[in-house]
Amino acid sequence: MDRTRRHILKSGAALGACALSPTPSLASATNGRWIGCRKVGDQHYATQFDGEGQVLTNTQLPDRGHGIIIAPDGTSAVIMARRPGTYALQIDLETGESCAPVESAQDRHFYGHGCFSRDGALFFTTENDIRSGNGVLSVRDARDGMRELASFPSGGIGPHETRLLEDGITLAIANGGIMTRPETGRTPLNLTSMAPSLVMMDSRTGDLKSQHHLPENRAQLSIRHMSAHGNQIALALQYEGPKSDATPLLALFEGENLRLAETPAPLARAMRNYAGSITHDLTGMLVAMTCPKANLVTFWNAETGEPVGHKRANDVCGVAPGQKPGEFILTAQADILVATLTGLQPRESLANSQWDNHLTRIA
Amino acid sequence: MKILRVAGTIFTLVALTLTVTNRSASADLVSQAQYVNLVQALTKETALPLHRQLAVQSARLGDVLSGFCAAPTIQGQAEVNLHFHAMMDAWQQVEPFRFGPVMSAPGPSRFQFWPDKRGTGQRQLRQALKDQDQSLLDSASLATKSVALRDLQALEVLLFVEPEALQAEGNFRCAYASAIADHQRTEAALLYDAWSKPDGFATELGKAAGGTAVFFDEREAAGAYVNALVSTLEVIRLQKLDRPMGLTLAEARPTRFENWRSERSARNIQLNLTVLKRLFTDKGGFSALLTKVGKQDDAAAVEALFDKLLDNLNALNRPLETLVQEAPARPALETLLADLRALQALIQDNVAIDLGLVPGFNATDGD
């Protein structure tokens, strides 16, 4: 019998039941830790590695993973299923052991991202109400099996990444604007009537404090991923219009209006209408945005929105801050790379692996 | 401020070059003209005729079903079933082309909503049959319903579950089946038209080299065919075979096969594979291009694996739906899985690299 043919998940006893290590020792690692999802053969894993690219923990996932969110105390992480997936898996960053996966409600699915409240007590997930197609922000009890405590309209269709802002109260939510349904998989159903937006929500009440749109002729620019640093949010976009349009894919927000980063046409064309992941560096002065369709990582001056360089790496997508100002860690194909404006340096390559969309810095 | 100075220095260090190209080293083996010729050949020799065949077969099924429902006979029902299989044969030969017009909303599930892992479609269909929902009989209103109420899986249920019910004069099931067939006729005709009209998708593929609204360049168009190969092989292996097999004999689930009701799940796989093989062997296809760039060994290895898989499928003496529950048949099915995996690896790790067309794992929209 071939037990390796597909994965067998070692799950906990009760749904969401879980005991996490109280005293992390990996946290003392001084050269940094990151975690990303990867595919090995037909199996999916969440893999934690250090600054030398050495694997620290490796956790099998029920299916393809997407966003990885670190708990505020740094001891655990939540892996969200890739949309339209239905699991959220909490893992112990010390041992790599996972709790039983938490499933979305029967009439909902996850959108691949979430975030913790500042004290780690709550976990917020972006979800699809399958019947109405409207976006939902679900508030969950992170200490009680991710039980849903409340749910609020996200203010649009297809909410994707969400971040808790510096005030500890406001959630920034990227409503991608693209309607999909489980029975038609990932097929976009409303490309001619898209209305993507960035929403500021009061996480305590669900009140929409403000909603921001791109200029009207940019309604086919889906707002999907974000990095928040200080008072700035940098947004990675994907364009659903004609491929012959050379469109900016970076938007910046400092509380007033969304502004598109002015992008020279050759660079805009080279990015191929699709940005997959985005992050600020440790200082917040530099933004790195990956364009996997173009095998390109692009760098931007966070203040002015000017492009300051780009590097080529096949199938690059995951990006997270490195250990130094101006440094980023990238994942591309099987590789872990260190990127600065002056070049890319391979750190480690994991055999037979395919790194997935996102990479998150733990410490 | 120290940090500011460091970052500022970085900014000034970098010379801004915007001559961005999207070529990798291995791609230089293949010229732009060779990509264009490959895409045009695959489109003309393989994709277009198969889309046309789907339009033709679905029109025949529609005609036969409406005639049968007007005057049901046993012989007429046998004829309907034959035409259902012919239409499914045609669809399974179009299914691998998972790009272009079929991907616009609501996607390929307009023809076949499968797998239905949560049973949503089957629930909707059961309810519709229970309610005898008359709005399903009108083609205009049927087109607005859930794909699960108007696809080939729904038609299969109507034709192969309680088939005797179709014999009753003026019965709802027959009228509904006929409405689905008519709807499928329209969908297939629209799909063929979207490919074949003067400014249609076939033309778009052919002129990709200049950059169009649909393709950035000719490599993206050629890559669409590589992606079709890889993704179809993966669907066959994981959805059409591995999932119903389960890890052990005890976990085998015949009803997880694609078309267990009409016992044609193995035939679907054969037809999928036949089309994929044609992408190599048809005039001007992948094998011809591989040979031109000195990679004839890879072409031969791919063709040999396709032949082995097709031979082994042919050698199955009973339906997959039966064999999956029999211990002695298990090794043969495991061999199919292993060969499918090997073929996918050969295409991803050799052919795609030979031709500079490696499909990007992270290049899917909306992640």
At residue A274, the 3 state secondary structure works out as strand
Asked if B248 reaches chain A (Cβ–Cβ under 8 Å), the answer is yes
Main-chain dihedrals φ then ψ at residue A337, nearest 5 degrees = -125, 150
At residue B211, the 3 state secondary structure works out as coil
Which residues in chain B are closer than 8 Å to A191, comparing Cβ atoms?
105
Write down the pLDDT at residue A215: 85
At residue B5, the 3 state secondary structure works out as helix
Write down the pLDDT at residue A144: 94
Asked if A331 reaches chain B (Cβ–Cβ under 8 Å), the answer is no
pLDDT tens-digit readout, A148-182: 999 999 999 999 999 999 999 999 999 999 998 87
**Mutation for B interface: A3, A4, A5, most B CBs within 10 A:** A5
Token duo for residue A354: 């395919």
Closest residue on chain B to A283 (Cα): B3
How confident is residue A24, by pLDDT bands cut at 50, 70 and 90? low
Mark which residues 270-299 of A lie under 8 Å from B by CB.
Answer: 270, 272, 274, 276, 281, 283, 285-286, 292-296, 299
Quick check: A257 and A308 in contact, CB under 8 A? no
Quick check: A203 and B347 in contact, CB under 8 A? no
Rounded mean pLDDT, B17-25: 44
Which residues in chain A are closer than 8 Å to B20, comparing Cβ atoms?
266-267, 269-270, 294, 296, 310
Q: Has the ipTM of the complex gone over 0.90?
A: no
Lowest mean pLDDT among A116-130, A315-329, B24-38, B54-68: B24-38
Mean pLDDT, chain B, rounded, equals 91
Rounded mean pLDDT, B243-272: 97
B37: CB partners within 8 A, 6+ apart: B284, B289
Tell me whether residues B10 and A286 touch, CB distance under 8 A: yes
Other beta carbons less than 10 A from residue A207's beta carbon: 10
Rounded mean pLDDT, A302-316: 96
Lowest mean pLDDT among A186-190, A348-352, B11-15, B274-278: B11-15
Q: Does pLDDT of B164 surpass 90? A: yes
Which residues in chain A are closer than 8 Å to B147, comparing Cβ atoms?
183-184
pLDDT tens-digit readout, B99-139: 999 999 899 999 999 999 889 899 999 999 999 999 999 98
Rounded mean pLDDT, B47-73: 97
Other beta carbons less than 10 A from residue A168's beta carbon: 10
Tell me whether residues A357 and B10 touch, CB distance under 8 A: no
Rounded mean pLDDT, B243-269: 97
Q: Does pLDDT of B366 surpass 90? A: no
Other beta carbons less than 10 A from residue B123's beta carbon: 12
Q: Residue A57 and residue A62: Cα distance in Å, rounded?
A: 16
Write down the pLDDT at residue A9: 39
Tell me whether residues B242 and A5 touch, CB distance under 8 A: yes
Rounded mean pLDDT, A291-320: 96
| Of the partner residues B103, B105, B361, the one whose CB lies closest to the CB of residue A354 | B361
Mark which residues 79-118 of B lie under 8 Å from A by CB.
Answer: 103-107, 109, 113, 116, 118
Rounded mean pLDDT, B5-11: 38
How confident is residue A28, by pLDDT bands cut at 50, 70 and 90? low
Q: Does pLDDT of B20 surpass 80? A: no
Quick check: A125 and A138 in contact, CB under 8 A? yes
Mark which residues 212-231 of B lie under 8 Å from A by CB.
Answer: 212-216
Q: How far is B243 from chain A (nearest CA, A)?
A: 9
Tell me whether residues B363 and A242 touch, CB distance under 8 A: no
Tell me whether residues B3 and A283 touch, CB distance under 8 A: yes
